[in-house]
Amino acid sequence: MDPLRVHVDQWLLVLGIAAYVTAAFALFAHFLMRNPVLRAIGLPLAAVGCVSQFAELGTRWWMTGVWPLTNLYGSLSLFSACAVAIFLVFALRYDLAFIGGPVLALAAIALGYATTWNEGYMPAVPALQSYWIKVHVPIVITAYASFMVSFCVSAMYLLKDAAEKRYAQRHPTVRGVAASAGGNVDVPLSAYAANPLTGVVRTDTPALASAAAAGDATASWLTGLPSLAKLDVMQYRIIAVGLPLLSLGIITGAMWAKEAWGAYWQWDPKETAALISWIVYAGYMHLHTRPEWRGTRTAWVSVIGFVSIVFCYLGVNIWISGLHSYKM
């Protein structure tokens, strides 16, 4: 193997990890301090890491002629690169830079963990020698990556929601505007939390807003985050990217299985674990249609969904033997 290409591969990997770690620190600091300079440092670094990762996978393909996603190292590399790419798209389109810290940190952890599975350059086993691997694997990994980003938004939602409730307990009523009445009224916050369609105008996070107005520094910092409603919409939009991709991934996987083994569905642990994740996110989408379920409950469903993704992606492949095992 050409030593120059091996060096390029390794340098790109190091560059990717270094860029992610630095970007994670910068964006965490931006999250804490709201300093636009840190944002301006973090986002380009994230982009550099993402590009270097895609370049590294491309270099591997170029070096060996073997599609680089045939092992856990390759798929985890793509996972972290896709997660960062999805984050960047949403960060630029919807100003989501504040979740960059956790996303980049998880991407760096995934990539760091991937290196422990880097056995070197190996040809693909016969079952993986199919054009389907170039279709099925990137689709599924992109779906997983989008669920990782949505998980970070859900976690942010739940944190802010918990803070909101804590502040609400201190100040039992907030000044709201009853839209139907067209005037100002005092509305118990518990009622607001229980039913977001009571006609109360959303002042984003009312308890936080009132505490911030009273000079509470933490509340003031928390109000700088997007409103709960906006976080909920963001979470929905990212899951709306992931769920069709997961569906397509399951369908292409079934088509590949049909071609390789003669059956769409073999009840292999990986297939069934992916089905569980699909069910959880399908449940999320159904619950999200109900105003009374939208918000905290759907955020928890999103968190459960990501746990199921981790189980499906790593747990099943590593600990449960089956057709998708990395260790038998």
Partner 1 sequence: MEARSGGRVASRALGALRESWDDLVRLFAHVPFGVSLLAAWAFLTLIGVIVEQGKDPSFYAAEYAPPLARLIVRLDLGNIYHSPAYLIAIGLILCSMAAATFTKVIPRRIPRLNPVKIDAIPLHARVRLAADPESVRERLAAFFAARGWQVRKREFGGAEWTFADKNNWARRGVLVAHLGFLIIAIGTTIYWAKGYSGQFAVLSGQTATIPENGATIALHRFAYRIDPIQTKAGTVYQPIDYVSNATVTGKDGLPRDAVIRVNQPYDVDGTLIYQATYGFAIDFRLTRDGRPVPVSDHPLKEGEGFVIPGTSRAIEYTRFVGTIDRATGQPAADPRPNDPGVVVQAFDGDRPAGSALLALGQPVDLGAGYALTAQRYILYSGFQYRYDPGIPVVGLGALVLLAGLCISFYFLPARLFVLARDAGGGVTEVGIAATTVKGYDVFEERFGEIVEDLRRSEPVGDTAQAGARPVLESA
Binding site for partner 1 (CB under 8 A): 118-120, 122-123, 125-127, 129-130, 132, 177, 179-180, 182, 196-202, 229-230, 232-233, 236-237, 240, 243-244, 247-248, 251, 254-256, 258-264, 267, 269, 272-273, 275-276, 279-280, 282-283, 285-291, 293-294, 308, 316, 320
Packed helices 133-170 and 100-115: angle between N→C axes, nearest 10 degrees:
140
Least distance (Å) from partner 1 to the CB of residue 310? 13
User: What Cα–Cα distance (Å) separates residue 310 from each residue in 107, 110, 253, 258?
Assistant: 13, 11, 18, 26
Q: Where are the beta strands (DSSP E) in the chain?
A: 173-178, 183-188
Least distance (Å) from partner 1 to the CB of residue 312? 9
DSSP bridge pairs for 183 = 178
DSSP bridge pairs for 237 = none
Nearer to partner 1, 175 or 286 (CB): 286
Short-list 145, 148, 137, 142, CA closest to 69: 137
Secondary structure (3-state) at 163: helix
Least distance (Å) from partner 1 to the CB of residue 12? 18
243 close to 235: Cβ distance less than 8 angstroms = no
Whole-angstrom Cα distance, residue 108 to residue 18? 8
Least distance (Å) from partner 1 to the CB of residue 37? 27
Least distance (Å) from partner 1 to the CB of residue 188? 16
Nearer to partner 1, 39 or 288 (CB): 288
Least distance (Å) from partner 1 to the CB of residue 195? 9
Whole-angstrom Cα distance, residue 256 to residue 263? 9
Least distance (Å) from partner 1 to the CB of residue 40? 24
Nearer to partner 1, 29 or 255 (CB): 255
Packed helices 3-33 and 36-64: angle between N→C axes, nearest 10 degrees:
160
Nearer to partner 1, 54 or 98 (CB): 98
Least distance (Å) from partner 1 to the CB of residue 205? 13
Helices (H) and strands (E) in the chain, counts: 12, 2
User: What Cα–Cα distance (Å) separates residue 136 from each residue in 86, 229, 246, 249, 256?
Assistant: 18, 34, 10, 5, 8
* Tokens 């918000």, located at residue: 295
CB-count burial class (<10 Å; 0-12, 13-18, 19+) for 113: middle
Nearer to partner 1, 29 or 300 (CB): 300
Nearer to partner 1, 49 or 60 (CB): 60
Nearer to partner 1, 314 or 320 (CB): 320
Nearer to partner 1, 170 or 265 (CB): 265
